[in-house]
Chain A
Amino acid sequence: MPVKYVLKLYVTGVTPRSQAALKNLKKILTEAYKGVYSLKVIDVVKQPKLAEDDKILATPTLIKILPPPVAKIIGDLSDREKVLLGLDLVAVVGGGLEKINEETNR
């Protein structure tokens, strides 16, 4: 059974930080992991209610919903090692996460 990751990335419009986080995340997801992922990108400006519900204070914020436990990281995700560690993501050499679903509401 392939591991399935469910991720939510909160960003603020198209600030340089938002763009960097998106770029870095895509890179991490396509380069190093075996498994499938579902990513939802939420713009706090367009959907502030969702941000409030998730108690977002600052962006970029990446939330890993599945597999448990829930993890929340803040920053532009440029330090790959720290991101992996923070999300409890296991690095597997020579694979990429297969995209099963990607939604962007920006």
Chain B
Amino acid sequence: MKKQTDKAGQHKIDLQALKESEARFRSIVLWSPDAIIVTDAKGKIEYMNPAAEGVFNRKVESFIGKDFGLPLVDGESTEIDIFRSGKDPGVGDMHVVETEWLNKKAHLIIIRDITERNKAEQALKKANEELQKLDQLKADFISTVSHELRTPLSITKEGISLVLDKTAGEINEKQEKMLGTARSNIDRLARIIDDLLDISKIEAGKVELKRELVDIAGLIRQVAFSFELSLKERKIELKVNVPEKQLDAFIDPDKTTQVFTNLIGNALKFTYRGYIEISLQEKEKEIACIVADTGSGIDQEDLPKVFSKFQQFGRLPGPGEKGTGLGLAITKGIIELHGGKIWVESKLGEGTKFSFILPKYTTEEIFKEYLNNGMREAIDKKACMTLIVISISEFKKLKQEFSDEKMGAILRSMEGIIKDTLRRKGDVVLKDSGEMVVILADCDKEATLSVENRLKEALDKYLADEKLSGEIKLRFGSAVYPDEAKNDRELIEQAKKG
């Protein structure tokens, strides 16, 4: 008797456990906020949970036994539009799992209502598109406005100049004075527009530097020379502390000239006695420049605002052109575009010192920039460009035979000859591996071969004259883009093959 009771008792316990387990799983399905649908293999709805009523805005009973359809999900899940009678359509995330239902193949479909999330995503996407459009509009606006402003300005200036030149008839002294003032203000306005355009382009990231290897020492000397007259007039000394020999820097010569002109010009405006000093120093990884003066100095309070736009400080500048308030902002922009840094130190009444550094580049980096610029130009102009590689056979051995110095001198001479032969129509880079690379724009295969021949002639002549023909053997190779190569890597490979 006991055994039977135990069996019955055990049976009751098992049943209880089963009921509890079933209750747990049922509550998961019942309380799930996502719609859970079970269909048979053909898509007929076997079960729909209460959440589905909310998602589809329909009573579950109306759908049991009806055809849901075969959900085709590529991968994990797919997005669908939820059709809700009487309401706006929603968006859902549909997960499908193949499973079994009462021992038959079935589909377990879970649909999460992501209508709100989708709305937010769409709004974000739209906002992004608007921002991009605005950016483009801004850039177009700046260049259009500058152009529009310049035209009436130059017409006005033309008219005033004609009257001042007495082309329209005689004018008296008073009229001459007034028109003179008007004309110089138009010039000032034109400068402001130019500067505005400059700084807008810099800020919009639309300035592309045209960098090349330039003798920066020579550049400074040139700029200093242009100020000589004004300096003499004001009886201010100019100290140019710049190395005598050439110092090559990879810079945009026009923009760098703009920087020095601005800094020296500023110094001149605020210095009435003493001197202005320009120094240049080559360091390991950078080139350091300083423009210092013994002028009126800048107040500590104003120092942080020095590079801001339209800042012109208390002191009345000396005679001469009035500034635009944008010069230093532009200068800072140009230095930073070059990858450099600029800063200022000053003491009221004692003087001001502007310092900046420009990074140094390896020949490899310079070569890459020339190459990419050349390729970009070729694409823009739908033209071609050429890479010519001149290599020296057994360069390593030769470097040991001759000293490093002598080899360096020979290479530089050959580089000079190449430049002369090209007559400034291409970029030349002397690589550390003893290769001389030439990049030519607008050059098809025929023209390339003719250039190659000219170079070969000139270099052979040099080697013969120096009695080096025996030891130094040159190899020539070239490749044209886009005809013979699709990218920079292929171009270099092809050119090296010769």
Contact = CB atoms under 8 A, between A and B. Distances in A.
Given A15-B91, A72-B43, A59 B72 contact: no
B89 A44 contact: yes
B72 A74 contact: yes
A64 to B, nearest CB: 11
Contacts of A44: 81, 83, 89
A17 B74 CA distance: 13
A60 B68 contact: no
A89 interface: no
Interface residues of A, number: 33
Contacts of B325: none
Contacts of B67: 55, 72
B70 A57 contact: no
A17 B63 contact: no
A82 to B, nearest CB: 5
Given A17-B81, A58-B80, A83 B72 contact: yes
A59 B80 contact: yes
Given A48-B85, A58-B81, A58-B82, A79 B71 contact: no
Nearest to B82: A58
Interface in A54-86: 55-61, 63, 71-79, 82-83, 86
Contacts of B89: 12-13, 44-45, 59
A51 interface: yes
Interface in B71-129: 71-74, 78-83, 85, 89, 91-92, 94, 111
Nearest to B80: A58
Nearest to B109: A74
Interface in B20-77: 43, 56, 63, 66-74
B92 to A, nearest CB: 7
Contacts of A86: 70, 72
B81 A57 contact: no
Contacts of B78: 75-76
Nearest to A69: B42
Contact of B63 (A16, A55, A58, A75): A55
Contacts of A73: 69-72
A75 B74 contact: yes
Contacts of B63: 55, 57
Nearest to B67: A72
Contacts of B91: 15
Which residue, of B66, B74, B78, B83, has the highest number of chain A Cβ atoms within 10 A? B83
Contacts of A58: 80-83, 92, 94, 111
A57 B72 contact: no
Contacts of B79: 16-17, 76
Given A18-B81, A59-B81, A59-B83, A71 B70 contact: yes
Interface in A3-49: 10-13, 15-18, 44-45, 48
A47 to B, nearest CB: 11
Contacts of A61: 69
A52 interface: yes
Given A57-B56, A58-B111, A72-B43, A12 B70 contact: no
A52 B63 CA distance: 11
Contacts of A13: 89
A55 B11 CA distance: 45
B481 to A, nearest CB: 37
A57 B74 contact: no
Contact of B72 (A16, A48, A79): A79
Contacts of A55: 63, 66-67
Contacts of B82: 57-58
A60 B89 CA distance: 12
Given A44-B89, A55-B67, A82 B81 contact: no
Contacts of A18: 81
19 contacts: A12-B89, A15-B81, A17-B80, A17-B81, A44-B89, A57-B56, A57-B69, A58-B80, A59-B80, A59-B81, A59-B83, A72-B43, A73-B69, A74-B72, A75-B71, A75-B78, A75-B94, A77-B72, A83-B72
Interface of B: 43, 56, 63, 66-74, 78-83, 85, 89, 91-92, 94, 111
Interface of A: 10-13, 15-18, 44-45, 48, 51-52, 55-61, 63, 71-79, 82-83, 86
Sort A-B residue pairs by CB-CB distance and give the 10 closest, nearest first: A72-B69, A75-B72, A12-B81, A58-B80, A79-B74, A74-B69, A59-B81, A12-B89, A82-B72, A73-B70
